[in-house]
Structure 1
Amino acid sequence: MGVITGSREIGGVLRYDVFHDNRMHGYFGSQIEVVLPDSKEQMISAVVLRAGLTSELIRDKNTGYLHARNVGRIDYEPYQFRPVLKIVQADRPRILIADDVGVGKTIEACLILKELQARHRVRSVLIICPKPLVVDEKWRNELKRFDEDFVHLDGSDLRFCIEEALREGEWPARFAKAIVPYSLLDERLLVGNDANGRLRQAGLVDLTPGPRFDLVIVDEAHHVRNRATFAYQNVKRLTGSAEAVVLLSATPLQTQSRDLFTLVNLLRDDLVPTERDFAQMLEPNHYLYEAIEAARGGQDGWQDEAQRALDGALSTTWGRAVTAVDLGVELVRELLTEDPGDARARVRVVRTLEELNTFSSIVSRTRRRDIGTFTTRKPSAPVVSFTPEQEVVYNAVIDLGRRIVELQTPGMPVAFLLSMLRRQAASSISGLAPLVEQVLENRLDKVEFSEIGDDAPDDVPSSLSEFRAEIRAIGQLAEGLNGLPDPKVDVLRQLVTDKQAEENNKVLVFSTFRHTLRYLQEKASAWGVRVGVVHGAVPDEDRHSLRRRFKLPNSNPDAIDLMLCSEVGTEGLDYQFCNTLVNYDIPWNPMRIEQRIGRIDRRGQQSESVAIINILTEGTVEAEIYDRCLLRIGVFHRALGGSERILGDLTTELRRIADDLSLSDADREERLRQIADNEVARIQELERLEDQQGVLLGLTTESFESRVAEASSEWLSDEKIGDLVRAYLEAVLPGRRLALRPGKVAVVRLDEDAAARVSGDLHAAVGGDLRLERQLRRKPAVLRVTTDPELAADEPDVELLNATHPLVLLAAQHAALPGAPMASLRVRSDVVPPGRYPIAVHAWTRLDARDSLTLRYISTDPAVEAAADSLLALAVDGDGSMAPHELDVDALEQRHQREWKVAREQHVTRARAAGAQRVASLRAQRDRQLRAIQENADKVSEPKIVKMRQSELISARDRFDRLIAKHERAVSGADLITRHLVTVALEVEAP
């Protein structure tokens, strides 16, 4: 059984196009018969209809709608879907995300992973990142929020994977989702080694083509901007054969920099094989920007101005060769003939021109200042003085430092030790005694070291014999402060006490030092407030539990009022429900300050302003750095975003000044003032350059809400996905009604038979799921499910239902529409006039280099077609007064056939023209690149490099040949396939 989509006369006999079994067939009239719908068997309810449409979009891997909504236990912002849309709409899924720090690059990469998973394109994933992010499990913990479990690869694991891929032809399945640090991307990984006379160990050059991953994510990609490094060569190998690639970097983009070309070439050497191509790609963008500005302005004659600018873009070398065949050019020309006062047409012109920008599909950058200020920051800095007893201890630390300087004792560990003691004394001098004991006994772990500072040595200093006696004496002095007054802790106590009188009584306190946190916990416990502590040694589940309790209202007996944190301890945790942050000590790294503030100054902050309270001790270097430098560059007043490199340089300079005890007070003050002036000027210049580069790279500042809305479908909303799963579970548990609705966690208790059925269905639908099956084996089996990320954020045992969840995939299989059914529905709405309307729902799939399915509604009234989503979403079962057999189905089919025929001709013509041009371009680019690689190979004689070049030549040829074959298939197979899903008799009543 199939659907007739068209017909033509051949030799006086009609030949029909019939779609069934996922392809088009041709039959003469004598070979087919019309299937009359059985009104009983083919009738479905409103609930079944909605579940069926949701099922259709979830099961089809080429849907044109976003699936990555609510796929993680976090709050999303529309701008975070910008890279997702770019990568799924591109002809090749590869993108550079160059967002400011704090915007959420990691979240964006995870959204891409989940979106590609929903489209059945991703099984094997490799993440490359700096070693500290592996040690701290930063990526692994972030992925857990998306219900993804990755493994870290060490050197032996990586060698095993290479050998296995060489032997079996594919990467081993148990390491299909892996994280590897840059530190392992060395010469041995690239070319292998002789293993000291044993069997030779293989390298990446032995894998031709390279290892095939569905997705490779390269974090902090600026680490591979130097082509001469082994890191770059290895990343090139690992990404070369990957289907999708995501590069992440917070480094500001500069078109005149070779770094940007290197990264873009690494991504798309088929598109940008040489620096000459890179320069030519930039040429049309000046003109396109002028056209965009003309359309945005909408002044008299804007269409002529935009047309002239578009012609200028098409007159460039790249414009003639590449842009001219883009389907968007013809669309812009058509739109420029519309009524100049048509605001919708003008918006479409702007958007289409933005998409024509030559870098729009491969570069995405979101700056903090482009997405607006999250809230108003109100900084303050109460200053306290040391007590005489505290000053004695602090001066003893400074005197020790001066003696070390006089002795000119070299070595980073000693310098870091001194800096650490001084900063602990400024933070909480009472924390010095236990810190000294810990240092002398060599009990500082690496996580604690990373909390204390970015300049921490790789190893804890073990030989302190020269200074052991002085250090122990300082510890004994500090121990004598126990029980004595502490002005700094008194300020904190007053702040916390005052805050308890407010409805939002939450206070978040940061300190770099665990001993300070422990000291404050002891003090706060006596103040009558409920206190929690989070640092790098606190397990993940405890961190999430403490965050959940901190979020609870004051009236809840389990609530926490005061949270004491280190920077490392709060990574991945957001506190936008709190509006008061206290820096009990000030990091010398401005980026660490921004990371602290970013825990509460973020989207979703419930207060109009947040208080940033910095408690300073007079006479400390920390107080000087705050007054003379940090306050002036504005880090407490606003996010400095893309100035990461500048702030990194500033941090280095601040440490140099702070640790130079030979400077007089006046010299130190002058040096701090000078670097503040210099850095403010550099930050302002960087922001000016960023604005200029944004024009060339097509980095727009427009609101992204509308684009996300357009790419979203009513049938993939939280409510519809919840309804889909509820329908399945109620079928498994007949007679039960489940309370699975938005804003709630539904508790589903399964008896032994029901649990066995769900487990069996899981295996049949998705091949099983270990985590779910563990829960199903429990007695009794209980599933806790929700569609609300907020409710699942701190509850790892709650199943967050979304388009990639195994339960949703299983329910989608269960809810597939039977044949081409009919439904009789009614709805109350003022969107269209009351009346009786037929609606036919079709799935249209555009076959091209990137296939895409969308739902197409056909009705006798265009207004009903436009509103069909919302009408069907609200409809209920009809009362039987409007029977489906009364519909004029022929009229619907004729309208659908006309619409489909016109759309098909346009799509096929455009797709084949663009595809043929792309194939010709790829062939030319392949020949140029292969020639360049061969010429480089001919210039060297060193065996390892010759082998590397030969392997690179084979990999490049294979890569281009696969791309060319893909586009040739797209050219020959370009089509618009239509599939009839359901026919609805809809009665619209006035509200």
Structure 2
Amino acid sequence: MPARPSLVDNAETTHAGALAYLINDHDPHHGLAVATGYVNLEGLHHLAVNVTDGRAVRILLGASPAPGLSAMPLLPHFDRAIEGLRQDRNLARFPPSRAARLQELDIWLDRRDVQVRRFTERFLHGKTYLFGDAQDARAALVTSANLTNAGLSHNLELGLANYEPMVAKAAFEWFDGLWETAEEFKAELRELLFPDPGLIDPQTVYLRALLELFDAETEQPVSPLNTVQLAPFQRDGFRRALEIVRRRHGVIYADGVGTGKTEIGLAFIEEYTRRRGSHALVVAPRQLVRHWEERIERALLPARVVTYHELATDEQLTPSGTPKRARRLTIDKDVYRLVVVDEGHALRSPNTTWQRAMSRMLGGERKDLVLLTATPINNGLWDLYHLVMTFALHDRAFAADGIPSLRRLFVTAGANERDPENLDPDVLFPLADMVSVRRDRRFIETHYPNAAFPDGTPVRFPQPVLTTERYDLDEAHPDLVLEVVVAIDELNMARYRPSAYRIGGEPEVHEDTLSALLQSAVLKRFESCWRACLLTLERMLAAHDAFLAGWEDGFVLHGEALQAAAGQELDETGLAQWLAENPVEECAESVDLFEDRFRDLVARDRSILGRLVELLGQMDAQHDPKLKLLRSVIDKSPSQKVIVFSTFADTVRYLDENLPDPLGDRQRVTVIGAETNPDERSALLARFCPDTVVRPDYQPEEGEVDLLLSNDVLSEGQNLQQAAAVISYDMPWNPQRVVQRYGRVIRLKSEHEQVHLTTMLPEPGDLEEILSLEAAIRRKIKAARTFGMEIQVLQGEEEREIRSYARRLTDGDPSLLDETDGEGMSPSLSPEQMRSRLRRAFEEGEAERLRRLPWGIGASFRQGPGIPSTGQPGVFFACRTTTGDKYWRFVEAGAAEVVNSQAPILRRIDPGNALNVDQPSVDLEAAWQTASASIMEEHNQQAASAGDPVPVGPIQRWALEVLRNPLAPVPKDAEDAYLALSIDRNQPVRSALGAIRRDHESDLISLTEAAIRILEVVRSYGLRPIEPAAPLTAITQDEIAVVCWLAVLPAASGAGGHTGAGP
């Protein structure tokens, strides 16, 4: 037997070892008395597994002050110590192997001979472990070590064990004196460590999981506004948007069309100007400026309103030499603290002048940005990236939220992919929820069924009635559609693809893309209106004649072809945006550089174009079946006020020229894009909808009209709800266009019970021909964009996609009206639905119960009919590390896959009204081992790379090298510029640096001049060094706790639903 311990320092002899010796060395009738200033679960468990001989045990719990805090009241220190026990308990309740130790402690504390008291009269600095009692004192270990695992084994402690009866007796008298004044605490301790959570069903666990996601933002108080009056759903949205802005300095407010986003903008303006005493700026399209000015004036709020183009030409936000540069902002840009942007999706394109101006606006003194838009995504996932980067300002803005790089996140989501099979927008679910508020019409109707505006008006939308009207162009010319579609398909588009015929060259992707976009535009113009198509064909014919004449003179002028294409109204094809992002220059080259077949193919296309011009030239308005149908649809409309939308200005001109005015008893106004200046546009709209464009009971001087013809310039932002009918004269080629067109009349506070939405389409057989060619062109575009990659372009995929959309349009599918953004922010999984569910539980008094639930709770349910859960069965874990980092994992049945993305997990764990399954045959321990290993791998990889330098793109790397080059002397304060550029910035900054690099590489500027211009970019964009996120530290499995778990079981055999193998 080893010698009795005397000096105990956790080096040669540990306190745990000394206690074990003393317990074995003293008969069980000698009791144990422990006084400790701090205790944790490991310390209590150490006693439970070592004192198993029936020995009486007294534990006196006190509180030790933290260094420098001894002047604080005692009870908060004790409560802090007890809170540590609560955290220990949470960590110990799962998995089953860990919970077994808690059960051992439970059994031990249940013994009558184990007593616990707490001493709260004074701080307890002394720690003792005494054997015997005052009458028969056997040993006293007096030490600095608390009853914790670290105190007993690891910390640098110092204790002396004394076996002299007189000394041990004195120690007992000290202990007994404290014990007599202490309070019984065993019952409270057991309640703390072994709480009764009550009935735990799948619904409770699901709500607890939602609390993990949303608790930080629930029940945030917002003082009522004085001027701007909001409906309940707007108040809730505004409250959440304010919280997002507080955290992120920006928000994408993406409620559906017609839900009153203007009111949200006004509420922000009141919050900032009236409550915070700050300045606010509103940026809006030209056609909405007057609307904003009137609303701001009516609300008696101070705010400056400018157009996008005014923002892009303000002298503070644009470099010298910018055309029309002038003073647009009346005060210094850094005085503003709030910028509200209406139709904020205009900032989706990173290379526009207004995006560059906005980046400069938001630089320098920090400002908050509110983007109001119903369609944050239109062309792809990068749309959302550019919107977020507008206010995030740099790539690592969300590093503290587990997103080390925004760009890498979007690449992982498939933003570069053109094959939808390779897209994974679920990856973006957490980010989208962090930065956006998005509730559609159906959400508002469902969750606010009896709500009303402050003026008593019900929160109600008119019921949309979607119909399709068919026309047959063959009535005017037999087989017209077939002949035109076949001819367009035969076009080689060689005129727009010169690189494909350059001797020894390679085809350029951007030319293939352009040519396909242009071919698609010709087709869409034909579907819209024969006259609009004819005008485009005549312009293309002239361009081909010019090319062939140039060839005869020995040169090829091909940049001009792209510029000419830019002049076409082809925005629906995406061509305008493409050209903005891929600028081209005129280029005349010798025909000797090109293959002879280049000229032959252009001549062949010229012949096809001539045939098409001749064919469409036989048409006239008098015998146009589509125009005739339009007159009939207008005549039969149940609404007196009717709006007719078309994609193309040429189509609207044709209608304006060939429809009688008045048409029946309806006089009309016509608004065509840029041809109608803002003042004229406002006056025309005031004649059509005076009550909503100006004010109720407004009487236009020139009289009120009931028919409006317009291209899609008016399909964004305008409130035209006096009308109850919208006719799409041509096919809206994506759901966003459907939403924007019909959103002009499906609005809150509409006086109509129903609104009638009509789409005019060709006869089914003709439509099939058009759709087939459009699908083929889209495949060409996709193939061009994936050139050089091993990505197969599937023939059936585009046709399925476009036919599915056309079928829904034809069938009048009302769900189209809620598809506000395509991929990336799918309404099928709505965080707002989940928030509403959690809010409802809170309103029913469940908030405190959910928050007080111990960790480690779990339940099981089966998938099946009527149960929302979809996907593979398995086990879900909501976890936290001891430092508070949150991780979710779903281990599929048989550990086939570990899912770590929130969106697919949320789809699987919604139990609906499913019943709990008692004692499911699930190996929770094995599933936990898999989940925790995945969490450790992710966390520790991030921890290991925390100190690594953050890579930046090649343009910024070049700029950093210039600033570090000793041959380019720069001011001393250039160090801040270097640090500011050491993290990836948004596209406008990279573009500005790219222009400097090109000038330097072309020997237009010296190295020193390049350095000076780089510093000017940093200054003009207000770039500042970024504080790095707090580094992570590596963890072990013992530092991961399970907040809650759910076992998702497959549907019972024969019950339908998922039938995969159970876990």
Structure with greater Cα Rg:
2
> TM-score, normalization: structure 2?
0.38
> TM-score, normalization: structure 1?
0.41
